[in-house]
Amino acid sequence: MKLKKSFVAAVSLLSVVPLASFAALSEDDFVEAAWMTTRFFGAQRSGQGPNWVLDGTKHTTSFLKDSYNGKDVSGGWFDCGDHVMYGQSQGYASYILALSYAEFRQGFYDLYTGDYTDYKSSNDYTRKGGKPNGVRDLLEELRYEADFWSKAAISSSAFVTVKGDGNADHKKWVTAGMMSTLGSGEGGDPRSITGNANDAFTPGMASAMLAVMARVDPDSANKKKYLEAAKTAYSYAKSHKGVTNSGNFYSSEWWDGRWKDGPFLAALELYRTTKDEKYKTEADEWYFDLQFSSGSYTRLNYSNAVPLSVVMAEGVFNWAPASGALYDAEQFLDNIYKKKTKDGVFMGETGGSGSFSVRSPAGGAFLYALMSKFWNEDKHDKIIEKNVAYLLGDNSNKKSYVVGFTRNGASAPKSPHHRGYYANEDPGREVDSGLQPPEKNKLLGGLIAGDFNSGSHSGTVSNWQVNEVCVDMNAPLVGALGYILSKKAPVTMEGEEEEEEEEQDTVDVIRHMPAASGLKLFQNGSSVTLSGMNDGAFDVRVFDLRGKTVQSFAEARGSLSFVFPSKGVFQVRVSNQKMNRTFVVKSL
C-alpha cells in the first residue's frame, strides 16, 4: 500500500525513539527474546535438517523416508513437542511468520547461520556463539518450511496435510532421529502420510505462506518455486472444503466451520504477489462467506483465523466484516482482547492448566501490531509491548513463559513437553524419569502453554497441558517481537531489496456492511455524502493515516456532505450511543 508505506519511510528517523517501558525490559532483552523464539523453529525441523537440538546425538536427521505415492515429502516442522507433522497448525504458524517477516522485516536480525555450523564450531549455543551470514534468521527458518510446503503441494488433487500417526508417535520419549529408527508401530519409518484429505484450510494457509515467500525472498529461483507451489496449493484448496480430521489430536470440529479463512488468505496473498485481479475477485467471494460471528468471540488460534482475516481484509482491500455488530478491524479486535484485559494484559480465555493461556497475549499483541503497521498508527504500541513483556516475565510472579528466557530475574520453565529438548535416545526411558537437557538445549526458546493461575512453573514434563511448546504459539510472539524491534531498533541490511510498494485500492466497504441501519456513504471525487443518520444525532470524525483527526462534525442528523481537505486515504467514523461504523475512503 503505497501511501501507508511511503509514510513509514518518511518517519523512519523517528523509529528509533524508545517505546514506553513496562517491565524494565531493555532493547537487548527484546533482541534476546526474538533470537530465542525464532531459533526455536530450528529445533522443530524434520528431515535432513540440520536441527540444532539434535547436535551431539547419534541420530541427527529424522524421517527421511516420508513420501506420498513415490514423491519425497520429507522436511517441514514438527507442530509441537512430538514428532507428528500436523499441517493444520503448521500452515497457520508458517503464514503468520511469513507475514510478520514481510511487514516487520527490519525488526528481524541476522544473528546466526541458518545451518547452525557457527554454534557447532564455537561450541557455544548462546547468542554470542552465532555468526551473521548476510541473511535474516527468520528468512532462513521460513525457507526450510517453504521448501517442505513446495513438496507437499503435489497437485490440485494431492496435498500432504499430515505425516505420521499420533498414537504411535506418543509411545516413546526419544528424539526425532531415534524415533525414526524404531519402526512405524512406535512412530518411526515408514510413516503414514495423509495426502488426499478433504481439507481447504491447510493448503490455503500453506498457499498464503508460499505466496508471501514468493514476494519477499530475494532469491529469484525461490520466488519462482514458491509461487508455483502457492498456486498448486490454492488449486487444491478450491476443490476441497473443511479441514483434516486427526481425531483427538486435531479434530475438525474445533474449527466450528471456520475453514474458509485458509483459501481467503491464499487468494489475498496471491493477489498481493501477482496483482492478478482474478485473485482479488475470488478473495472477495471467500471473504463474504467467512464466519465473522463465531470468530469474533474467541481469540486468534489455528482453529480461528477470522481475526487475522479481518485485519488483512481491511489492511489490503479496506473491506469490513460482512455481518455482526463490529464494523472495522479495531472494533473487532477490541471485542476479543481489549474488553477482556487485566492491568492491560489480554486475559480472555486464560487461566490454569489446559487453557493454553499464552495464546491470548501473544495473539492479541501480534494482531494489534499488524493493524498498526497497516494504518501507520502507534496508539497500540504500549499495550503490544505490555503483553509481550508479560510473557517474558513482567508479571506479579516474575514468570517467563519462554524456555530459557531469564532476563531481569524472570523464572523460566525448565520442563517443556518437548522430546528433542532432552536429547534422549534410550527408548526405555520414561517421560518423567528425571531426564535433563544438554546445556546447549536449555535456551530452547519455546513458548509453553502456561498456567496464569499458578505462581510457579510445573516441573512435570508429561504435563503437556502446561508445558507443551508448539509452533502455532511461538509464531505470533515472534511476530509481535519483530514489530517492537522494528520500532525500537530497526536494522536495514546491505543489498536487501526494498519491498515493492502497492497501490492503495479505492475503498468498497459498503458492499460488506449490513444494510439494516440504512447508513450509507456516497463519494464523488473528494466530496462525500453520508445519509441514513436517522436514529438520533451522530458524531462524524475523519482521520488521516497517522490516526490524526483532520475533520470533525458533531450532532449530524439525516445527511451530511463535506469535502476532504486533500487527496489521500481517510477513515470516516460515524457513531452515536447505538452505532459505530467506520468507512475507509480514498479521496481522489
Query: Rounded distance, CA 207 to CA 159, Å?
Result: 11
Provide the 10 A C-beta neighbour count for residue 511: 10
Degrees (nearest 5) of the Cα angle 496, 29, 348?
Answer: 100
Contact by Cβ (8 Å): 176, 51: yes
Tracing cell 536495514 back to the chain, one arrives at 492
Compute CA distances 355 → 1, 28, 84, 245, 400, whole Å: 38, 31, 22, 21, 17
Strands 520-524 and 345-346: unpaired
Q: Which three cell numbers stand for residue 282?
A: 475470488
Instruction: Determine the length of the chain.
Output: 588
The beta-carbon contacts of 215-220 under 8 Å, at least 24 apart in sequence, are 215/102, 215/269, 215/272, 215/273, 215/500, 216/98, 216/101, 216/102, 216/105, 216/139, 216/499, 217/139, 217/143, 217/146, 218/496, 218/497
Could you tell me how many helices (H) and strands (E) the chain has, helices first?
19, 14
Query: Rounded distance, CA 490 to CA 502, Å?
Result: 22
Active site residue 417: yes
Q: At what angle do helices 359-375 and 87-103 cross, to 10 degrees?
A: 40
The catalytic position among 29, 66, 82, 137 is: 82
Non-local CB neighbours of 418 within 8 Å, separated by 6+ positions? 43, 80, 81, 403, 444, 446, 469
The catalytic position among 83, 240, 380, 417 is: 417
3-class SS letters over 531-549: EEEEEEEEEEEEECCCCCE
Dihedral angle, C-alpha 140, 142, 145, 146, nearest 10 °: -100
Q: Where do runs of H (alpha helix) occur along 104-238? A: 117-122, 137-152, 166-169, 176-180, 201-216, 220-238
Active site residue 217: no
Query: Rounded distance, CA 461 to CA 415, Å?
Result: 5
Contact by Cβ (8 Å): 194, 77: no
Active site residues: 82, 417
